[in-house]
Amino acid sequence: MIFTIDIVSIKKQLAAEAAIEMIEDGMIVGLGTGSTSSIAIDLIGKKVSEGLNILGIPTSKASENQATSLGIPLTSLSTHPSIDLAIDGADEVSPSLDLIKGLGGALVREKIVENQSKKLVIIIDDSKLVPQLGACPLPVEIIFFGHESTSTSLASLGCTPVLRMDGDKPFISDNGNVIYHCTFPNAISNPSDLALKIEKIPGVVTSGLFVNMADIVLVGSDDGLQTLKRS
Ligand code: 5RP
């Protein structure tokens, strides 16, 4: 019998295990979206079944469904507007811990939840560490009305925006909007400036640039766990 070891999953698991050690009894916990967050949610579900007392706030319908199926009690930002700790993945992490997020399509709820979190812990495998953001496309969520013309305003910022598809139809986010994946040919030299320019465009909900938000990045690598902290 041949066993294949999925190294990337092991790295994600390492980061997720370290993150859930930061959860304390009584906390309000933001639950991220994506394959790495899903490992963390599974681990939280196990801890809850063993008696951990927390309330989760999911960043997507997928995370909500997973948490519910595991018996993790949930609350909302209306009831608990301040979150103790949010745990989420990322698509890219720069040396200053700025992020590109949202290739899983959940960027808006992630940004809302994580903006309300006292501490944001990002869990990644080491392939997500980049010298400069922008090797992957930047997701931007846009209101459906007039989205084609909104995308031309995005293009005027120097990128090529491509509508995210779900088969032969536009992908629709949990918020009922479309998402454009924007490729910047020369990467992103000034993420905070770009984030402001994108968010000024009427029709844009938000971009996947998470600037100055991550407090800690836990990185699973060949050498074990690496912990990066924002200075
Ligand atoms: C979803 C996200 C995810 O956190 C990001 O895409 C990373 O996902 P994965 O852990 O599957 O690599 O931002 O909107």
For the Cβ of 124 lying below 6 angstroms from any atom of ligand 1, the answer is no
Distance CA 15, CA 165 (A): 30
Grouping H, G, I as helix, E, B as strand and the rest as coil, residue 183 is strand
**For residue 123, how far is its CA from the centre of ligand 1 (angstroms)?**
10
User: Per the confidence metrics, is the pTM higher than 0.85?
Assistant: yes
Which residues pair with residue 88 across a beta bridge?
122
At residue 231 the predicted structure's pLDDT band, cuts being 50, 70 and 90, is confident
At residue 2, the pLDDT reads 67
For the Cβ of 161 lying below 6 angstroms from any atom of ligand 1, the answer is no
For the Cβ of 173 lying below 6 angstroms from any atom of ligand 1, the answer is no
Grouping H, G, I as helix, E, B as strand and the rest as coil, residue 98 is coil
- Give the residue whose CA is nearest to atom 7 of ligand 1: 90
At residue 3, the pLDDT reads 64
Asked whether 27 and 3 are in contact (CB, 8 A), the reply is: no
At residue 4, the pLDDT reads 63
At residue 190, the pLDDT reads 98
**For residue 190, how far is its CA from the centre of ligand 1 (angstroms)?**
22
What does the mean pLDDT of the chain come to?
A: 97
Query: What stretches of 165-215 adopt beta strand conformation (E)?
Result: 165-166, 169-170, 178-183, 204-207, 209-210
Which tens digit of pLDDT belongs to each residue from 69-122? 999 999 999 999 999 999 999 999 999 999 999 999 999 999 999 999 999 999
Spatial strand order of the sheet with 204-207 comes to: 160-163, 178-183, 138-142, 204-207
**For residue 1, how far is its CA from the centre of ligand 1 (angstroms)?**
33
Calculate what percentage of the chain has a pLDDT beyond 90.
Answer: 97
At residue 5, the pLDDT reads 72
Q: How far apart are the first and last CA of the chain?
A: 48
Q: Would residue 64 show up in a list of annotated catalytic residues for this protein?
A: no
For the Cβ of 181 lying below 6 angstroms from any atom of ligand 1, the answer is no
Distance CA 140, CA 149 (A): 14
Which tens digit of pLDDT belongs to each residue from 186-215? 999 999 999 999 999 999 999 999 999 999
